[in-house]
């Protein structure tokens, strides 16, 4: 009998480990399903899947992050901001919610809030290249606003005028010159 107890313990541990692996696979499938629904524009289905998942695991940061992406794609930036703000408060060690929060703020021309969120993202993860790029864009937009204000106050300032023009070029969305060039960027 003493041999069966250690074997039972091993079996129970293996069973528990397999349940954890299966559970992780189920969750990975849920994340992938929501991402796929989001990519294909099936926002109502994505929202329903997110809501169902979060009834069982309301604190799951990854699904809540996906929820903010669905909200944003559905034209609900205020709700997405609320979701991301809650994530930054509950999981301050995660840089991604700060980055996405900044993108939403920037889309609303709230560049100071965007800058603050991005500075936090790069403080948390100094190797977060996307956040640095977004921070550069926000700094450029803030600079453009400052130079434009300078021109309002002194319309004959040629340096401010040149800087505004240069920043407009830098901040303009990139458009590929040819269809072949577009294919290379994908």
Query: Is the distance from CB of 74 to CB of 47 less than 8 angstroms?
Result: yes
Query: Is the distance from CB of 36 to CB of 52 less than 8 angstroms?
Result: no
pTM for the model stands at 0.75
In tens, the pLDDT along 112-156 reads: 999 999 999 999 999 999 999 999 999 999 999 999 999 999 999
Phi/psi-derived region of residue 109, left when phi > 0, alpha when psi is between -120 and 50, beta in every other case: left
In tens, the pLDDT along 162-184 reads: 888 888 888 887 665 544 433 33
Query: What are 161's two structure tokens?
Result: 């005028």
In tens, the pLDDT along 147-165 reads: 999 999 999 988 988 888 8
Long-range contacts of 31-40 (CB under 8 A, 24+ apart): 31/62, 31/63, 31/66, 34/63, 34/66, 34/70, 35/66, 38/66, 38/69, 38/70, 38/73
| Structure-derived torsion over alpha carbons of residues 55, 60, 61, 66, reported in degrees to the nearest 10 | -50
Instruction: Give the list of residues 6+ apart from residue 45 with CB closer than 8 angstroms, or none.
Output: 37
Comparing 96 with 15, the larger pLDDT belongs to 96
Q: Compute the distance between CA of residue 102 and CA of residue 115 in angstroms, rounded to an integer.
A: 7
For the residues 65-77, what does the mean pLDDT come to? 96
């Amino acid at each position: 009998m003493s041999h069966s107890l250690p074997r039972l313990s091993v079996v129970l541990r293996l069973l528990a480990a397999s349940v954890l692996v299966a559970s992780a696979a189920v969750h990975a499938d849920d994340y992938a399903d929501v991402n796929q629904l989001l990519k294909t524009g099936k926002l109502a289905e994505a929202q329903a899947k997110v809501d169902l998942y979060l009834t069982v695991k309301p604190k799951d940061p990854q699904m809540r992050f996906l929820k903010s992406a669905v909200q944003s794609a559905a034209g609900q930036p205020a709700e997405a901001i609320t979701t991301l703000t809650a994530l930054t408060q509950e999981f301050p060690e995660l840089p991604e919610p700060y980055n996405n929060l900044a993108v939403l703020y920037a889309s609303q021309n709230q560049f100071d809030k965007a800058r603050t969120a991005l500075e936090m993202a790069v403080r948390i993860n100094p190797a977060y290249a996307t956040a640095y790029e977004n921070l550069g864009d926000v700094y450029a937009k803030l600079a453009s606003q400052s130079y434009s204000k300078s021109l309002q106050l002194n319309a004959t300032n040629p340096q401010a005028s040149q800087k505004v023009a240069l920043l407009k070029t830098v901040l303009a969305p990139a458009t590929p010159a040819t269809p072949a060039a577009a294919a290379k960027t994908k």
